[in-house]
Amino acid sequence: MIRKKLILPLIAVLMLFLSAGCEDEQIKWETNTAPGMLVVEGSLTNELKQHEVLLSRSADYFINKKTPAVSGANVRVISGPDTLLYREDPDREGLYLSENPVAGQPGRTYTLDIRLQDPINGQKHYQAREDMIRGMVLDTIHAAMYENPLYAEQSPMDSMILYLSAYGEEPKDIRNYYAVNLYRNGKSVRDTIDELDILSDTEELEGRFVNHFFFFESFTPGDTIGLELSTVSKSYRNYVEGIKEIANQSGNPFNLSGPPANAQGNIQGDNALGYFRVSHLTRAQTIVQEEPQIR
C-alpha cells in the first residue's frame, strides 16, 4: 500500500511534464476522402398538402460548406395502384414537391422511389418503404406554467415547467411511438431533429383518453401553445437516437457525412443516408394558463 501511494503521484508528475513538453507540437491528421452518398430527407403524412423530398449529396467531413443538391431526379411515391409524382421546385434545387396536395391514409404502405439522372458511385435507383400507422386523435389540450420544484441557481434546468394535459383516444391495439413537437404562437420550439422527443404508448403515454406531459420549456401565460403528435416506426426512433449521437459528437445534427455512427436510415441502395418518414399526425392548441389545470 505504501508503494502504491508513492508510485501514483510520481506517475501523475511525469505525465504533467510530458504533456507540458508536447504543448506546442503540431499533430498531423491523415484523413481519407469518403465516397459521396445520396442523402434523403422526406416525409408523408395524413395532412392534405404538397409533401416534400429533399435530395443532396454528402461531402467530406472537414469541408465546412453546404452539401450539394441532387437535381434532375425522377421521384415518386407508390401505394398499391396509386402513384404520386413529384416535381423539382424551380426555385430550389434538390427539393421535390408532390404535384398535387394529397393526404396519406393510415393502414397503407408507401414506397418512395428515386431514380437519379446522374449516378452516385454507380447507383441510380433508391427506394424506401414505410407503413402509415394509425395513432391518437387529439380532442383538446390544457396547458399551464408552474415553478420547477427542482430548480436551483446555476442549474441548467429552467425555473418553470410547462404542464400539459392532452385529451384524445389512443388506440391500444397498436404498439405506437409518437414524435412530439410544441409550437409557441405558431412557431415550432424544436428546430432540429436532435431535439425531437419520441414517446412510447406503453411507457410515457399510458392513458387511453388523457395523457399528462411535463416540458422544460419557457412559455408565458397568454401564449398560444400547439401540440403535435405524429406516429413513427421503431426504426425511425432508432434513427433519431443515432442522429442525436452524431450531434453530440460533432455539434451538427444535419452533418450526415461525418464519422460512422449508428444512424441507420431506411433508404435502400448502396451508399445512401437519410430517412423517408410516414406519419399519422394530429394537432391541438390552447392558451397557456397561469396555474396548472390537473384533471
Residues 166, 182 contacting (CB under 8 angstroms) = no
- For 26-38, how does the pLDDT look when each residue is reduced to its tens digit (9 = 90+)? 444 444 455 678 9
The matching CATH number, chosen from 2.60.40, 3.40.1710, 1.20.1260, 3.40.50, for 137-233+281-289 is 2.60.40
Cell numbers placing 118: 446522374
Specify whether the backbone of 251 is left (phi greater than 0), alpha (psi in -120 to 50) or beta: left
The values of phi and psi at residue 18, to 5°, are -65, -45
Predicted pLDDT of residue 212 = 79
β 281-289/137-147 pair status: parallel
- The C-alpha atoms of residue 24 and residue 21 are separated, in whole angstroms, by 8
CATH, range 38-133+234-279: 2.60.40
Segments making up each domain of the chain, as ranges: 38-133+234-279, 137-233+281-289
Predicted confidence (pLDDT) per residue in 183-203, tens digit: 999 999 877 777 788 888 666
Tell me the pLDDT tens digit for each residue of 57-111. 986 554 556 778 999 999 999 999 999 999 999 999 999 999 999 999 999 999 9
Q: Do domains 38-133+234-279 and 137-233+281-289 have the same CATH topology?
A: yes
On whether the CB atoms of residues 239 and 196 are closer than 8 A, the answer is: no
**Whole-structure pTM over 0.95, yes or no?**
no
Residue pair 84/77 in contact (Cβ under 8 Å)? The answer is yes
